[in-house]
Structure 1
Amino acid sequence: MLEKIRLGRRRQTPFSAWEQVDYFLFLLSIGLTVLGGIMIRSVELNQGLTDWWQHWLMGGIGLVSAIFIARCRYEHLLEWKWVIYIATIIALIAVQIIGTTALGAQRWINIGGFHVQPSEFAKVGIIITLAALLHERTTPTILDVIKILVIAAVPWGLVFIEPNLGTSLVFGAITLGMLYWGNVHPGWLILLVAPLVSVILFTVYEDAGIIWAVLMGFVGWWSLPVRWLTGPLALLANLGAGELGNFFWGLLQDYQKQRLTGFLNPEQDPLGAGYHLIQSRIAIGSGQLHGRGLYQGTQTQLNFIPEQHTDFIFSAIGEELGFIGCLCVLAAFWILCWRIVMIALTAKDTFGSLIAIGVLCMIVFQVFVNIGMNIGLAPVTGIPLPLLSYGRSALLSNFLAIGLVQSVANHRQRIKF
């Protein structure tokens, strides 16, 4: 008995309050942030800018914030879910009223000389709100799903009209991922995204769209109540979505169509919509296996790629660090996401598990889309690469999200002696 007491006393160190946090997750986040600063300095070397040290400074602030959040009990957020949600909505509305405009969009609020982007923090806010709502239902009903979709649609709509298509897509990925983890019927989730697929298929190949619509009719019949009604409704909804897609596609000008499909064949408009993608692929390809070396990339140092310190930071990594550097970045993200999944699986309650999955969906979607647009597999949407791209609001929100995941990890059930 005395030996157990002595062991317990020995464990009371200044770090005891963080004894169950995932330190490897912190190390990966720090490593990616440091690499981001190095690459930002490289792409801005000939411009005399200081974004690289601002990236590190904000990363340091974010790390301290994440460590503090890891110490706090995430369960208390259940009592504040509506306060957080309302604050998120107010901030997004404020952007429309007093926000500043840049690059053709009104997304920032000037606070003391700093441009804050509320939509980045809104992603964390919606994760907390949806996790708090989903944990209350073991098996959500259709009405529960509709309620959650309506709640998520308000901040999504406010972000979409900024306009900020990229971040609005992240909201969709977070919502779908958390609904899946919250035991929502898989068929319902398929039906949620089915109309978008119908729009794409009807635009590209109408026969494939019709087959898809019929398949969705069967999914509706299988997964929804009142089968004789909901099955045909699902079929008609997808047929209608496809026809509407064709109608609105016909209203677009040629240059607008090129912006949406330019990533499929950027050579059609090499000086316009395809310019970013062509230059990015040249940069990544020229890096070959080992890269040209830091500060040695021709595309990077001669500023051939616009916005390379933000949306196209991966192209700089590909050119200067090569295929090996790209693989290391992908491996770091894979391990980071794997650690988050492990935390979600070992969380002591559903609320904590849903928070971890929401953060996972946010990171995974952004990584896939950003790298996809850098290598020409996705359209340019303005989604930053987490922890690597320059963007003070985005970086801070990423660390806040990681802090929430660490809080879930830190407050798992401890082993009792």
Structure 2
Amino acid sequence: MLLKRSLPKIRWKSWVKPWQNVDWLLFCLPVAISIFGGIMILSTELKQPVTDWWWHWMVAGIGVVIALFLSRIRYELLMQWHWVTYSLTNFSLIAVMIAGTSAKGAQRWISIAGFNVQPSEFAKVGMIVTLAALLHRRTASSLEGVFRVLAITAIPWGLVFLQPDLATSLVFGAIVLGMLYWANANPGWLILLISPVVAAILFSISWPLSEPIILFKELSFGPLGIVWSFAMAIVGWQTLPWRRFGCGAIGAWTLNILGGELGVFAWNHILKPYQKARLTVFMDPDHDPLGAGYHLIQSRIAIGAGEIWGWGLFKGPMTQLNFVPEQHTDFIFSAVGEEFGFVGCLLVLFVFCLICLRLLHVAQTAKDNFGSLLAIGVLSMIVFQVIVNVGMTVGLAPVAGIPLPWMSYGRSAMLTNFISLGIVESVANFRQRQKYY
């Protein structure tokens, strides 16, 4: 009799055992965020005949199944197939440029069985796997290792940028920087990597009551850019190995001068008008209140109207009357601010902080560098997207078109986030050797 009573219990344990080391807090928090995101999407579409909220939950359910499946497969298998993953990533990005569908001035989607799939979203996971495998075999403690990573990243990054998809290309940059730092890259080298971008911005800014310095025709240097370039020359002199004859300092200075001028050229000849507007309007949205600044102005009004406790679910006037464009996608956080107030916003950010802390814990406790780097790549992706998305809804960052993970409507983004979660859960699940009976 005792034996018969214990059999169901043994069977239950044997069924659960493949997931016994999964970080369930890390798993449940994104699921909860996804459910809450569907409710907020429903709130933004309550008076419209659309069912994006239902699709949001359905895709999240598929993502949960995929994440559970991936979490019980040994993540080490990804290292054996990382070049295949890299090739498929580049192939998909090339395919979307050839046979993709266009919308809003960009060609980013491929239609498969009536559904629009965005390959650049899945490319984030492909790059995390590829870079984790490369840095596992050779760390970034040498410049050779850093240049190798940058060379591998350059192809998919360039393909994404040419779509054009500036937002995803920025996410690529955040992933690379985070993984290089975790792989023992010198922090000074990382500063030098992003310094040309800063120089490109500063070269167009002049000191008060002064004009840019014009040395040659079509070539000008903003005073702030010159100061920045010399500061980076000091960083290069201190961190780069080529100290003889000041080669490191000269190289860093030249890199920033060229980066600044290329940035000015890109601004004048490459970037689309809507991309320029997104990058600059956050500094003064009232300059174009009915055009590029409309999103930011309406978003700030909605968040401010929520005050401390908010208007309540389905009761926010800005949300219900659709005053905030794209509120179910990029600006979903403004609906949270209006209907749940400052307290609701803090709770959402607290949940994201918990997710990031659990990702960091998995990275620190992984049994090898490959698993640790996978977790850090996902952490870098999530942190950057949350900071930029929340920042742009409150007017502290440019409108970059980056969705809020697990909350914004977007089927490709949702599946990408859950695939990433499943890989990290595999790292957590196989931290110790397990025996199955």
With structure 1 as the length reference, what TM-score do the two structures score? 0.94
Q: 2:283 is paired with a residue of what secondary structure?
A: coil
Q: Deviations over 1:353-386 (max 9, x none)?
A: 0000000000000000000110001111110000
Q: Which residue of 1 aligns with 2:260?
A: 242
Matches within 5 A, 1:14-413: 14-205=15-206, 206-227=222-243, 228=245, 229-246=247-264, 249=267, 258-413=277-432
State how far apart, in whole Å, the 2-side matches of 1:139 and 1:380 are: 32
Q: For the structure 1 residues 414 and 83, does the alpha-carbon distance in structure 2 shift closer, same or farther, using more than 3 Å as the test? A: closer
Q: 1:45 is paired with a residue of what secondary structure?
A: coil
- Aligned-partner residue type, residue 410 of structure 1: N
Q: CA deviation at 1:226?
A: 2.2
Give 5+ residue unaligned stretches, structure 1.
1-5
State how far apart, in whole Å, the 2-side matches of 1:254 and 1:83 are: 37
Q: For the structure 1 residues 101 and 258, does the alpha-carbon distance in structure 2 shift closer, same or farther, using more than 3 Å as the test? A: closer
Q: 2:203 is paired with a residue of what secondary structure?
A: helix
CA contact under 8 A between 1:43 and 1:308: conserved in structure 2? yes
Q: Deviations over 1:285-313 (max 9, x none)?
A: 00111111111111111111111100000
State how far apart, in whole Å, the 1-side matches of 2:100 and 2:263 are: 32
State how far apart, in whole Å, the 1-side matches of 2:266 and 2:343 are: 44
State how far apart, in whole Å, the 2-side matches of 1:259 and 1:380 are: 5
Greater Cα offset, 190-199 or 257-266: 257-266
Q: Percent identity?
A: 60
Q: CA deviation at 1:199?
A: 1.5
CA contact under 8 A between 1:134 and 1:140: conserved in structure 2? no
Q: For the structure 1 residues 51 and 133, does the alpha-carbon distance in structure 2 shift closer, same or farther, using more than 3 Å as the test? A: same
State how far apart, in whole Å, the 2-side matches of 1:209 and 1:172 are: 22
Q: CA deviation at 1:414?
A: 5.4
State how far apart, in whole Å, the 1-side matches of 2:149 and 2:277 are: 35
Over the aligned positions, Cα root-mean-square deviation in angstroms equals 2.0
Greater Cα offset, 60-69 or 179-188: 179-188
CA contact under 8 A between 2:279 and 2:400: conserved in structure 1? no
State how far apart, in whole Å, the 2-side matches of 1:110 and 1:248 are: 31
Q: For the structure 1 residues 248 and 22, does the alpha-carbon distance in structure 2 shift closer, same or farther, using more than 3 Å as the test? A: closer
Q: 1:14 is paired with a residue of what secondary structure?
A: helix
State how far apart, in whole Å, the 1-side matches of 2:109 and 2:170 are: 18
Q: 2:116 is paired with a residue of what secondary structure?
A: strand
Q: Deviations over 1:271-296 (max 9, x none)?
A: 01100000000000001111111111
Q: CA deviation at 1:244?
A: 4.2
Q: 1:13 is paired with a residue of what secondary structure?
A: helix
Q: CA deviation at 1:13?
A: 2.8
Q: Deviations over 1:244-288 (max 9, x none)?
A: 445655669998755431101101110011000000000000011
Greater Cα offset, 225-234 or 163-172: 225-234
State how far apart, in whole Å, the 1-side matches of 2:132 and 2:400 are: 27
State how far apart, in whole Å, the 2-side matches of 1:77 and 1:352 are: 10
Q: For the structure 1 residues 96 and 244, does the alpha-carbon distance in structure 2 shift closer, same or farther, using more than 3 Å as the test? A: closer
State how far apart, in whole Å, the 2-side matches of 1:148 and 1:255 are: 31
CA contact under 8 A between 1:203 and 1:245: conserved in structure 2? no
CA contact under 8 A between 2:205 and 2:223: conserved in structure 1? no
State how far apart, in whole Å, the 2-side matches of 1:248 and 1:65 are: 40
CA contact under 8 A between 1:89 and 1:155: conserved in structure 2? yes
Q: For the structure 1 residues 255 and 111, does the alpha-carbon distance in structure 2 shift closer, same or farther, using more than 3 Å as the test? A: closer
Q: For the structure 1 residues 18 and 250, does the alpha-carbon distance in structure 2 shift closer, same or farther, using more than 3 Å as the test? A: closer
- Aligned-partner residue type, residue 125 of structure 2: V
Q: 2:282 is paired with a residue of what secondary structure?
A: coil
Q: 1:77 is paired with a residue of what secondary structure?
A: helix
Greater Cα offset, 338-347 or 209-218: 209-218
Q: CA deviation at 1:242?
A: 2.8
State how far apart, in whole Å, the 2-side matches of 1:250 and 1:138 are: 38
State how far apart, in whole Å, the 2-side matches of 1:174 and 1:148 are: 11
Q: For the structure 1 residues 258 and 392, does the alpha-carbon distance in structure 2 shift closer, same or farther, using more than 3 Å as the test? A: closer
- Aligned-partner residue type, residue 185 of structure 1: N
CA contact under 8 A between 1:127 and 1:358: conserved in structure 2? yes
With structure 2 as the length reference, what TM-score do the two structures score? 0.90
- Aligned-partner residue type, residue 344 of structure 2: G
State how far apart, in whole Å, the 2-side matches of 1:255 and 1:123 are: 24
CA contact under 8 A between 1:280 and 1:315: conserved in structure 2? yes
- Aligned-partner residue type, residue 241 of structure 1: G
Q: 2:137 is paired with a residue of what secondary structure?
A: coil
Q: 2:375 is paired with a residue of what secondary structure?
A: helix
Count of residue pairs the alignment pairs up: 409
Q: CA deviation at 1:68?
A: 0.6
Q: Which residue of 1 aligns with 2:213?
A: none
- Aligned-partner residue type, residue 374 of structure 1: T
